[in-house]
A and B are shown apart, each in its own frame.
Chain A
Amino acid sequence: MSVHYWDEEMETLPRVGLESIQLRRLKHLVARVYRTVEPYRRKMDAAGVKPEDIKSLADLAKLPFTVKDDLRDNYPFGLFTVPMEEVVRVHASSGTTGKATVVGYTAKDIETWSNVMARALCCAGATKGDMIHNAYGYGLFTGGLGAHYGIERLGATAIPVSGGNSKRQINIMKDFGSTVLLSTPSYALNLADAMDAMKIDPKSLSLRVGIFGAEPWSESMREEVERKLNLKATDIYGLSEIIGPGVAQECLVTDRGMHICEDHFLPEIINPETGEVLPPGEKGELVFTTLTKEAFPLIRYRTKDISRLIYEPCECGRTLVRMEKVTGRTDDMLIIRGVNVFPSQVEHVLLGVEGVEPHYLIVVEREGNLDTMQVQVEVSEGIFSDEVRVLENLSKHIQKEIKDLLGVTCKVKLVEPKTIQRSEGKAQRVIDKRKI
């Protein structure tokens, strides 16, 4: 397999060279942010750190973290470092967990973003000749437009189909010959269901690669997507605060880890409890510092995503560090009777049970002083039986597997197909009804 690079020099730079670029950019960033953004200056003063204290990459740890609340407190534009007339675009989060967070871009930031996204597409094997089906939502969400500009930068053909209307999406795939699909992994499965209903064999389509992101998904879900859509499924990572999609992308050589555009986004892994930086290879919360962004740079932004950095060289030749698939969030972590539970772990169990569909819902409640967890699982024809005993054994089996993996006893409720809400974007996997 031939490997395509978008920016070969940067992507294969020896670490020494890369680190020297990172340090130069970091010094410049910290000085600029200290000078121009009052909230940053206040936090750095409080921590007793001055821009000139940054002499090596290790000095990064001296700088205070930035968290989502800092963005909210300075809503909407308080953390921008350039005058608004230089900001050519803004995006915003949906604000589902509070006030929306707003991010801004200068013309150069859009350039940077397009380039890292083009790099991600290349990393997944896309080239100029590809028909790229972009089913990420267009609008204030960074997914759609972020990917779109990358596709155009790459020189491939963008199909800006956005999310929703699965039937139409599939007809477009068929008629236009889409070769690369960009969407959330749960929407990809939604499309697979729709193909099934339309009696369209994915093998009759031209899809070759899928680039899936914007929500955590497991390895078993990858297999499911690959089997049902007849394509190679790769993982992409990004978040609007850092830039949007294109922060990191899995290459075609390994199924372990996404190459981070480290020349733009400097990663760290910290202990989410103590904030201390963890040694290479350890698992913890992912933190990013944007090295090149102009309008809205972030210093040590806590993503709440749980991952691990992989420094071992990759066979694809890229020297850029890899981040492991995000296995959970520090904030979607459920604590059930004192036990930490990630929905992705429950998903992993369910996909290990033959015939079980990856559509599930975790309902957490509190009865008296005791937390209860119910896992709703859709009964497909693959697992259905006309014998009560068989279905009851299935529930017991799932219950046992979850207990074995998580140490939590849950109730498994079998529900009718399509009763768990399908989403066009991020799937909702948890309903927490506890009032604590």
Chain B
Amino acid sequence: MLVEQIAVFLENKSGRLAEITAILAENAINIRALSVADTADFGILRLIVDKVEQAKAVLRENGFTVGKTQVLAVEVEDKTGGLARVLKCIKEAGINVEYMYAFVNKTGENAVLIFRFEKMEEAMATLQKEGFTILSREQICGL
């Protein structure tokens, strides 16, 4: 199952990230995972939050450009080689990774890898077949 991620366009100027996090905090929206992709001119903030639609709405109201995409969350044991196993299987299936980021859950036992693949459905089927655990948004939020 795919997880909804919101992405926000950021101009490279000071205080924008602080503004976004403040808006989310004011609206009691919890960030579960995030990453910032940056270039010389702009950045893209990617977020997984507990209330997707609400987050989108409040950011829009504050004048941000917000997009929504589907990503895949894979849970692996927090051990050496965890990510390597996932990527090996993806490579063998001939699928490209558009981007990824990761976080370790509270207990420190497992890591969650967030992926955007070129071919999402195919990647999900491949990983499921190989026995990897795919998480839902509810599961991520419950971690």
Residues of A within 8 A of B (CB): 379-381, 384-389, 391-392, 395, 413-419
Contact = CB atoms under 8 A, between A and B. Distances in A.
A212 B53 CA distance: 38
A413 B39 CA distance: 12
Q: Give the top 10 A-B pairs by smallest Cβ distance, nearest first.
A: A386-B7, A384-B65, A379-B9, A416-B11, A384-B67, A386-B69, A388-B37, A379-B65, A418-B63, A414-B42
A417 B59 CA distance: 12
Nearest to B10: A416
A161 B121 CA distance: 55
**Main SS at interface, chain A:** loop
B44 interface: yes
A386 B63 CA distance: 17
A381 B67 contact: yes
**Main SS at interface, chain B:** strand
Given A384-B7, A386-B5, A387-B99, A414 B67 contact: no
Interface of B: 5, 7, 9-11, 16, 37, 39, 41-42, 44, 46, 63-67, 69, 98-99, 116
Contact of B46 (A380, A386, A416, A418): A386
A379 B39 CA distance: 15
A417 B63 contact: yes
Nearest to A414: B42
Contact of B39 (A385, A386, A392, A419): A392
A395 B37 CA distance: 17
Nearest to A389: B98
B65 A419 contact: no
8 contacts: A384-B7, A389-B98, A391-B44, A414-B11, A416-B11, A416-B16, A416-B65, A419-B11
A414 B37 contact: no
Nearest to A381: B65
A385 B7 CA distance: 8
B65 A417 contact: yes
A416 B11 CA distance: 6
A252 B7 CA distance: 44
A406 to B, nearest CB: 21
A384 B8 CA distance: 9
Nearest to A197: B61
A291 B116 CA distance: 69
A392 B37 CA distance: 12
Given A384-B67, A386-B46, A391-B9, 10 more contacts: A380-B65, A385-B7, A386-B7, A386-B69, A387-B116, A388-B39, A388-B44, A388-B99, A389-B98, A416-B9
A385 to B, nearest CB: 7
B130 to A, nearest CB: 26
Contact of B116 (A379, A386, A391, A413): A386
Given A380-B65, A386-B67, A414 B41 contact: yes
Which one of B39, B65, B66, B67 has the highest number of Cβ atoms from chain A below 10 Å of its Cβ?
A: B65
